[in-house]
Amino acid sequence: MSITLCASSEIPVNTRKFYDVGGESVAILNVDGELYAIRNTCPHMGGPVGEGKVVRKPAGSKHPVSRFQTFSPVRKAVVGEPIGSREQGGIAPPTISCPLHGWEFDLASGEPAFPAKRGVTTYEVWVEDGLVKLDDGPKTPKAEAGGRRPTVASGVR
């Protein structure tokens, strides 16, 4: 079942907002105009993963490189030097790292990246008639039980 969270203008590019969805904290992140939704609970020790640093990395890279794009939850602005978008090729989906211990997760799928061993729960999120909608049924990360990848809403500006 889908729920309406807010107007798309309430989550500007490279910002995030948090919502209570069925008693769970869910982070909605607008990364370079694409929406992602994850449960704001790290599977490691329950840290607020949705508050972590978001990074775009070259495709196939497990570690950040010197030229990356990220945004700070405090400044809510782009930091660093952009390296392009997925449409330009060579750029993997963004990852988010838990601020407590640095566990990293793919924002699109919830799959773990270095050093995480378990994935984070993701949700389908999209824009419809200028409103941000969320499927309130969580998707199981592929790394845990072969869950399907959520779709990413594009074109939010």
Domains of the chain, residue spans: 2-145
**What per-residue confidence (pLDDT) applies to 92?**
67
For residue 7, name the pLDDT band (cuts at 50, 70, 90): very high
82 pLDDT higher than 80: no
Indicate the fold that domain 2-145 takes in CATH.
Rieske Iron-sulfur Protein (2.102.10)
24-69 pLDDT tens trace: 999 999 998 999 999 999 998 999 999 999 987 665 555 543 333 4
Contact 11, 17 (CB under 8 A): yes
**What per-residue confidence (pLDDT) applies to 146?**
34
Contact 119, 148 (CB under 8 A): no
Residue scoring higher pLDDT (112 or 149): 112
Bridge partners, 157 (sequence order): none
Contact 110, 141 (CB under 8 A): yes
Which has the closest alpha carbon to 147: 93, 110, 107, 118?
110
Contact 136, 2 (CB under 8 A): yes
The contacts of residue 151 (CB under 8 Å, 6+ apart) are 124, 126
- Count CB-CB contacts under 10 A for residue 87: 7
**For the ranges 5-9, 74-78, 131-135, which has the lowest average pLDDT?**
74-78
**For the ranges 40-44, 79-83, 94-98, 126-130, which has the lowest average pLDDT?**
79-83
